[in-house]
Amino acid sequence: MESNILSDILFLEQQIHAEDYKNHLAGIKEWGGADVIIEKRLDEDTKAWIEDQSTVFSFQKTETTRQVVITEYSKELSWLFYQLKKIFSSRIDYVSKYEFYGSLAQSAIEYLSKNKESENIKELLLAVLNKSKEFVNK
């Protein structure tokens, strides 16, 4: 199973380099799920949602909080999240999805904060994709 996931990730990496994701953006809805929202602009509803953080007690290794990723590449990043959802569907359950998608969102946020002046869609997508590889052996 791990080899299937790895080969799917490799294929996804090739799609990113070839910019194949551009062919799928028309039908992509911005991501919203597992306490992660991806948007082009921060709206009032999302702002209220992020400010209404509740305390969660969990056995997860990382602390999960609501995450909002604001980027002009919201559709492209959402496309990647949907692709990773398909690839990891057999590994993610109703508890682990918060850690999985939260860490992907955090990697996007970290990339965007470090590259404010030179934001690059391929680098953003590859940073998130590389983060997903940490979950292959979990």
Residue range 51-103, pLDDT digits in tens: 776 655 545 455 568 899 999 999 999 999 999 999 999 999 998 999 999 99
Question: Residue 51 in contact with residue 20, Cβ under 8 Å?
Answer: no
Question: Residue 31 in contact with residue 78, Cβ under 8 Å?
Answer: yes
Sequence letter at residue 116: K
DSSP codes, 64-106: ---EEEE-TTHHHHHHHHHHHHHHTTTT--TTHHHHHHHHHHH
Instruction: Decide if pLDDT at 116 tops 80.
Output: yes
Count the residues in the chain.
138
pLDDT value of residue 34 = 94
Helix-, strand-, coil-residue percentages of the chain, each rounded to 5: 60, 5, 35
| pLDDT tens track for 4-30 | 999 999 999 999 999 999 999 999 999
Structure tokens that stand for 64 in this block: 């999960």
